[in-house]
Structure 1
């Protein structure tokens, strides 16, 4: 332990490594994007395909600049190998501009929506195509007739100059192409936005009689917020099932429209082929054979082994085989802090605290300069009942921070302080201290506390909180919306956020997440620790781990019954 705690004081040289990537605007590749290590003067530029290569060391900051786009700054980490970026337009405020027609606010559009059939609700808010640049085709009200027996036939018969593949007998295989090209095999299919829920294939299950409004967005500028997945255009559908409620406002959190979440079954349908075959196996022996078959093909993917471990441990209760998967492939996981943290999350979700603790030790050795390493180790010791060691880690973190060996962050400091105070308050007798000496922050006492942690610092996602009254609030962990926060996380070395649900709002709360990907095009893992009646004798804790892999889709993380004031 003494050696571990002294590691931040050691100065070790970091060697340059080759970092590769591709840069787009969400649909098209960007050529001549300038990529340079901040403070140096030897940039590289992306080629005609938007690709680049640059040599950098952990701790360097890469600066990406392109005329008309927002600059992007990314801190290189120990695991950084690929950085695939989507640049967004840089809108600057102009002075002394005369407006001949004022654009309506989201609140105004939402208020007019029920009576104005030419306003559409999308995953990114309300849109009035009449006031938006770009080509849009709309159907409203009685223009929508149930032609054919499924959505594919409806589109095929109602719209000219679009190509529809698939039949009503197999609607889920349908694809719609809005832009004509010389070869259909090089075309990109349109995506569907149904009541704010994004689908990359045609929602053939949708009852045509429920459709109230439909719009087709051809213009890339209108589809840019959907990202590269919308390169083929967007078909927006509003149905009779969606309702819009008045929304409250909370300072610091964006008020948003509630998004429909994918069910567990829909997520399973989009899982990798090997995972679907594992689940379809009729026996454990057959599943083991499927695993061995795919292990040869996916030997270079650590996420394959994490999926296989989770399947055999949690879904088939074949824990011996699950552990053997990790043991046999430990050399593929070792040295990769991102993958090891994902496995630690799975262990904690399964209640295997001792195994999680050993992994957090490995991560600590790999990342002694990360603030998160101290919090993870301290909480791992606490979960294993080793309260004195947990207290020592919290104390060591504060000391190294004070001495300047670690870089501080106000956001992270508050989270670790809440954990530290709770440890002394709840376990003070075992630590030989008076529990009355440390108390919970009054803001948290008796509340429901949610702590979110993610294994990949490059993960971009949106959290949505829906209160008992149906009002929705978003927190966006994206470079486009929250770049300063992400930069602070990387400088200080943490990947966590904390939210508190006030006891004065009792009832069921729902928490959803929309995954927007990471720079290496791999899955990300999100751990949610829920504390109810925090800091009281009735405090309870639950850990849930979620694999995020389906970009642009909203999925439910958990539903919380907030007990309110006791």
Structure 2
């Protein structure tokens, strides 16, 4: 079936049918009548803290990680004015336009005066990261604040990824609350879920935390007052300030002030002294560049941690570190580099291109001169002078309009190349390759990156973009001894690559010269020493205790947590969930680690947590197309079908500003059609064009791969029942254009469809072509196979693969049709 045509129809329909995008509202709040600007609170009811308009009444509400649901309401409120609530299509019609909202003077639900607060809830973060908090300082502040109130009703909630303790507490004879007695026996562990900070009918909420939430957002009544309390310099200060400000309170940084001073400031109603939080912890500045100029988007990480930062457009970075630390710098096409932090005020990092990537195109800076470029056999354009070996190229301009056979395109266009035999069955000889008395080895043909031993007679000369010949053994080292006769590199005027993907891989495995003769072992997961140590224990309790002991030595190892989570998933799923939560906590803001965590949650069937992790990834990487696609899929799996629908409409309707989804439109369209096919009765289907409500979707096999490290080099191979193979390369060497698009648009997944194929066994192989040390976090791969995709008989299999261990080609799986 022609999936591409159907997706194109969907795009046209969505572009003309809808006019809204992700959760972005902008505008101005004015008083009805006088038109004077109002300082107002602007927020969506189920999206946590919102924003406050400025003195000119203007506001910008932007939450890339949040999706409007049918229950969502945009609420605008201000003291002395009647609140305004907007929902449904009225709300969507405000997306990304500058709107004017008028408030009428009247009775508003105001925050209670400070001395009249009665209902108090203390939320105490007992996650693993909160263990570093100075409890005594926090307790001193809480008691000092509560002492200013008259007979408050106090509730204490200890939470991490769940509510650990929830109880009412009363003051002792001296008027203080014995919080130290309450928390002394609580174990600090797990992740932080801010969605648990949800208290109705609350006058004041006090949140003691470091602001490093793993999941969720704070949800409080608009009339509540929130004090966020933190005692350590290394914390998410911006998050805690924003939440407290929106909910009419203050951020209390007890590492920079005392409990009494903070309480006095609250009572006085004055602003806290502004603190430069950037000076609260030591940071290191630097610049990453190459011979072509500064490098934007290089990953700079601190060895031994999961802290990773990307360089800016001018190549600069700023990372928390001290003298003696080691920085790891990684960038596509460059040799990785480790740099010792010294006393230098600015670290200068000069990166060296890999030998076969000398003409780096991703760098900023201006080219010095225009040169004649040729294809060097790896997809990289180089000047003839810089290639260093015999090479020659022709383009479509050199191919005559009446050329009918492949030989017509080559004959007479290359010095040293002979074309022998009748049209349609020619033999090709390359001088310096196979033109010798005793050696007539045929040349290798590489068509659009795929190598073939047989001549591709099927090629239409009028569909050829360029042909390059490599005459030297040095030039063909990439292809091994099979290229001893030289090589022809052919690039076609490719049909739309999405059309190829939509059509599937069936036809791609029917070309000549790709007979499969390998015998590969099935993928075997290497047993890590720490897993071996667990195997020696006889009970689940003993195994988990051993894991806890070992975890002290692997605090920042993503592989350690992933291995153990998968190990316990087979014998004790509840323990596996605890390990995944620990990974959620240590991953922090590292998107690569969070993506691996997302893979683990999906494979374990923990779909709600997977959606929460995916929301966090969107918040951290809002300019990457992959973030939104993964969140939409996560919402579908978690049963949040209308949220998924919202995202798919936004992505395919090109309504998420600054993000380009053009390269993944086909798989997005397939997933939207899948949502409609299986869950039409659970979505707002009236939001879709009619042709999409009756459109049938059915695929024999849909295979999707995701990889955690965008630049990870690997090959993916399919072998059909007739032992013909098709190889998909994910390397800068062979698929440069694809990798550049991934980096530019921010995506790292691929869809393969096997449809209308003959019965038999398909083999799926994989091989990692990089080095483990190349990346700060070794790359993982999520492999998902759908059978009968889009039907009531659909089944799904998910594997999380340690890609970095597959250095020899192995069979990832077998699919029977």
Q: Tell me, yes or no, whether TM beats 0.5.
A: yes
The aligned residue for residue 442 of structure 2 is: 104
User: Which structure 2 residues correspond to residues 480-495 of structure 1 after superposition, within 5 A?
Assistant: 480-495=733-748
User: Which structure 2 residues correspond to residues 172-183 of structure 1 after superposition, within 5 A?
Assistant: none
Aligned residue pairs, count: 397
Question: How far off its partner does 1:308 sit?
Answer: 1.6
Residue 291 (str. 1) matches residue 547 (str. 2): yes
Write the distance in 2 (CA, Å) between the matches of 1:540 and 1:16. 50
Write the distance in 2 (CA, Å) between the matches of 1:425 and 1:75. 44
Residues 1:554 and 1:253: Cα distance change in structure 2 (over 3 Å): farther
Residue 549 (str. 1) matches residue 808 (str. 2): no
Write the distance in 1 (CA, Å) between the matches of 2:775 and 2:647. 32
Residues 1:19 and 1:557: Cα distance change in structure 2 (over 3 Å): farther
The aligned residue for residue 244 of structure 1 is: none
Question: How far off its partner does 1:125 sit?
Answer: 6.9
The aligned residue for residue 753 of structure 2 is: 500
**Is the 1:253–1:474 contact (alpha carbons within 8 Å) kept by the matching residues of 2?**
no
Select the structure that is richer in helix.
1
**Is the 1:36–1:63 contact (alpha carbons within 8 Å) kept by the matching residues of 2?**
no
The aligned residue for residue 575 of structure 2 is: 321
Name the TM-score, length of structure 2 as normaliser.
0.42
The aligned residue for residue 62 of structure 2 is: 6
Deviations 1:160-197 (A, max 9, x none): xxxxxxxxxxxxxxxxxxxxxxxxxxxxxxxxxxxxxx
Indicate which of 265, 285, 305 corresponds to 2:561: 305
Write the distance in 1 (CA, Å) between the matches of 2:510 and 2:676. 31
The aligned residue for residue 93 of structure 1 is: 391
Residue 37 (str. 1) matches residue 294 (str. 2): yes
Residue 413 (str. 1) matches residue 751 (str. 2): no
**Is the 2:707–2:781 contact (alpha carbons within 8 Å) kept by the matching residues of 1?**
yes
The aligned residue for residue 344 of structure 2 is: none
5+ unaligned residues in a row in structure 2: which ranges?
1-21, 25-46, 48-60, 65-95, 97-237, 239-282, 297-312, 317-328, 342-349, 365-377, 394-413, 417-430, 436-440, 446-450, 455-476, 487-505
Question: How far off its partner does 1:406 sit?
Answer: 1.4
Residue 127 (str. 1) matches residue 481 (str. 2): yes
The aligned residue for residue 433 of structure 1 is: 685
User: Which structure 2 residues correspond to residues 290-369 of structure 1 after superposition, within 5 A?
Assistant: 290-314=546-570, 316-317=571-572, 319-328=573-582, 330-369=584-623
Write the distance in 2 (CA, Å) between the matches of 1:367 and 1:257. 41
Residue 71 (str. 1) matches residue 359 (str. 2): yes
Residue 456 (str. 1) matches residue 709 (str. 2): yes
User: Which structure 2 residues correspond to residues 509-520 of structure 1 after superposition, within 5 A?
Assistant: 509-517=762-770, 519-520=774-775
Write the distance in 1 (CA, Å) between the matches of 2:613 and 2:293. 35
Question: How far off its partner does 1:105 sit?
Answer: 3.3
Question: How far off its partner does 1:499 sit?
Answer: 0.7
The aligned residue for residue 224 of structure 1 is: none
**Is the 1:527–1:543 contact (alpha carbons within 8 Å) kept by the matching residues of 2?**
yes
Question: How far off its partner does 1:440 sit?
Answer: 9.0
Question: How far off its partner does 1:545 sit?
Answer: 2.1
**Is the 1:19–1:53 contact (alpha carbons within 8 Å) kept by the matching residues of 2?**
no
User: Which structure 2 residues correspond to residues 159-174 of structure 1 after superposition, within 5 A?
Assistant: none
The aligned residue for residue 136 of structure 1 is: none
Residues 1:558 and 1:503: Cα distance change in structure 2 (over 3 Å): same
Deviations 1:209-248 (A, max 9, x none): xxxxxxxxxxxxxxxxxxxxxxxxxxxxxxxxxxxxxx99
Residues 1:16 and 1:375: Cα distance change in structure 2 (over 3 Å): farther
Residue 523 (str. 1) matches residue 778 (str. 2): yes
* 1:6 partner SS: strand
* 1:447 partner SS: strand
Question: How far off its partner does 1:516 sit?
Answer: 2.0
Write the distance in 1 (CA, Å) between the matches of 2:695 and 2:729. 26
**Is the 2:584–2:594 contact (alpha carbons within 8 Å) kept by the matching residues of 1?**
no
Residue 479 (str. 1) matches residue 736 (str. 2): no
Write the distance in 2 (CA, Å) between the matches of 1:416 and 1:451. 12
The aligned residue for residue 520 of structure 2 is: 261
Question: How far off its partner does 1:431 sit?
Answer: 1.9
Name the TM-score, length of structure 1 as normaliser.
0.59
Q: Which moved more, 1:552-561 or 1:338-347?
A: 552-561
Residues 1:263 and 1:53: Cα distance change in structure 2 (over 3 Å): same
5+ unaligned residues in a row in structure 1: which ranges?
22-32, 56-61, 77-85, 112-122, 133-246
Write the distance in 1 (CA, Å) between the matches of 2:691 and 2:336. 58
